[in-house]
Amino acid sequence: MAKLRIAIIGCGGIANGKHMPSLKANADRAEMVAFCDLIPERAEKAAKEYGIADAKCFTDYKEMLADESLKIDVVHVCTPNVSHCPITVAAFEAGKHVMCEKPMAQNTADAQKMLDAWKASGKKFTIGYQNRFRSDTQALHASCEAGELGEIYFAKAHALRRRAVPTWGVFLNKELQGGGPLIDIGTHALDLTLWMMDNYEPASVSGQVFCKLGRDPHSPEGNVFGPWDPETYEVEDSAFGLIKMKNGATVFLESSWALNVLKSIEASTTLCGTKAGAEIHHGGSFEKDELIYNSAEHGQLMEKMISPGIHIDYFRGGPAAEAVREQDQWLNAIINDTDPLVKPEQAFVVTQILEAIYKSAQTGREVCFD
């Protein structure tokens, strides 16, 4: 069987930290044949490290998509949020399968354009929510599918960092990113929570965002990634949302890059069901990913803990298992004509809710869905 021919658009941090190493780990089914970046040297470096011998480099993704000699099958979009939509739409119009990095888009209008282009193309489409592929999240999802928690009617989506503002790239640029921690890491926590609940029908959203520390000249002290420049800090430093679902279930979403809290917990969820509850603890304050179930058994309150292993994020020295698994199932979905685990319609609802939190904070009003 011929290998799938992959093109990488955007050769920055997430491409180097996740996409390219995990594709290399699945080299039996895929090969990277083209690399595109606005900075030529980045594309050239990526091609040298991960590409086939005659891989081509580009600074214009349209030129790359138009090059029929490359015979591209799949495009990975690893660019700033504002460009997810035009690149993804162009890739579908060129007849390619697309994996787009999270979030799907910076707003619902762009996400809808991406959905429309995907449906018209007949190709495969997924969004890069790799946290679904962790051992702890896979185990909890299996429990939810089996009904072991009963009806999940209340949940919390956790994405809190004490001081871990990303100081590279365009993370602090509101025009290119669309927002700060809510759209960056809050999106992972919300995706996990909705996936566990299997609930994608929001009724209303109330939200609030803050920038109390981002522009404070004293706050960058102690930041994990080094001090940021308060003068160029354009996005929120924390954001919170209350999401009511059409069936009455409620989700509280908390996110921050900088917040005066003791524990850092992200890509985590707390689920409260009619039969039992469960919590996932993942992030800077936890050496190991923790999955804890709580219930009542034999007249006693009980807790059961699963600790899969030491938590090492994908950017700390090679691809993490979840990133490799993500690419494995994505390539299999294309080869075997099956649905990817992260469905575009699910990612669309995440974008809808994130946008509603920003809108609610801006207007001071609850945002209601039809």
- The string of pLDDT tens digits covering residues 64-107 is 999 999 999 999 999 999 999 999 999 999 999 999 999 999 99
**Does the pLDDT at position 316 exceed 80?**
no
Alpha-carbon torsion, ordered 172, 253, 319, 125, to 10 deg:
-90
**Does the pLDDT at position 366 exceed 50?**
yes
Confidence of residue 306 (pLDDT cuts 50, 70, 90): confident
Instruction: Show Cβ contacts of residue 345 under 8 Å, excluding neighbours closer than 6 positions.
Output: 115, 200
Confidence of residue 312 (pLDDT cuts 50, 70, 90): very low
Give residue 159's pLDDT. Answer: 98
Give residue 307's pLDDT. Answer: 61
**Does the pLDDT at position 318 exceed 70?**
no
**Does the pLDDT at position 320 exceed 90?**
no
**Does the pLDDT at position 310 exceed 80?**
no
How many angstroms separate the CA atoms of 161 and 238, rounded? 9
What is the rounded end-to-end Cα distance, in angstroms, of the chain?
Answer: 47
Give residue 313's pLDDT. Answer: 45
- Which CATH class name applies to 133-318+348-368? alpha beta
Per the CB < 8 A criterion, the answer to whether 78 and 19 are in contact is yes
Q: How many CB atoms lie within 10 A of CB 231?
A: 8
How many angstroms separate the CA atoms of 345 and 337, rounded? 18
- The string of pLDDT tens digits covering residues 112-134 is 999 999 999 999 999 999 999 99
Strands 290-297 and 277-281: antiparallel
How many angstroms separate the CA atoms of 324 and 303, rounded? 31
Give residue 258's pLDDT. Answer: 97
Q: What is the mean pLDDT of residues 193-215?
A: 97
**Does the pLDDT at position 296 exceed 90?**
no
How many angstroms separate the CA atoms of 336 and 170, rounded? 37
At residue 243, what are phi and psi to the nearest 5 degrees? Answer: -115, 120
**Does the pLDDT at position 317 exceed 80?**
no
Q: What is the mean pLDDT of residues 151-161?
A: 98
As a whole number, the mean pLDDT across the chain is 94
Give residue 315's pLDDT. Answer: 42
Confidence of residue 311 (pLDDT cuts 50, 70, 90): very low
- The string of pLDDT tens digits covering residues 344-365 is 999 999 999 999 999 999 999 9
Q: Three-state secondary structure along the chain?
A: CCCEEEEEECCCHHHHHHHHHHHHCCCCCEEEEEEECCCHHHHHHHHHHHEEEEEEEECCHHHHHHCHHHCCCEEEECCCHHHHHHHHHHHHHCCCEEEEECCCCCCHHHHHHHHHHHHHHCCCEEEECHHHHCHHHHHHHHHHHCCCCCCEEEEEEEEECCECCCCCCCCCCHHHHCCCHHHHHHHHHHHHHHHHHCCCCEEEEEEEEECCCCCCCCCCCCCCCCCCCHHHCCCCCEEEEEEEECCCCEEEEEEECECCCCCCEEEEEEEEECCCEEEEECCCCCCECEEEEEEEECCEEEEEEECCCECCCCCCCCCCHHHHHHHHHHHHHHHHCCCCCCCHHHHHHHHHHHHHHHHHHHHCCCEECC
How many angstroms separate the CA atoms of 33 and 50, rounded? 9
Instruction: Show Cβ contacts of residue 181 under 8 Å, excluding neighbours closer than 6 positions.
Output: 159, 161, 235, 236, 237, 238, 239, 255, 256, 257
Confidence of residue 60 (pLDDT cuts 50, 70, 90): very high
**CATH number of the domain located at residue range(s) 4-131+323-342 in this protein:** 3.40.50.720
**Does the pLDDT at position 177 exceed 50?**
yes
Ramachandran assignment for 170, one of left (phi > 0), alpha (psi -120 to 50 degrees), beta (any other): alpha
- The string of pLDDT tens digits covering residues 256-284 is 999 999 999 999 999 999 999 999 999 99
Sign of CA dihedral 348, 265, 161, 99: negative
Domain boundaries, the chain: 4-131+323-342, 133-318+348-368
Question: pTM for the whole thing?
Answer: 0.94
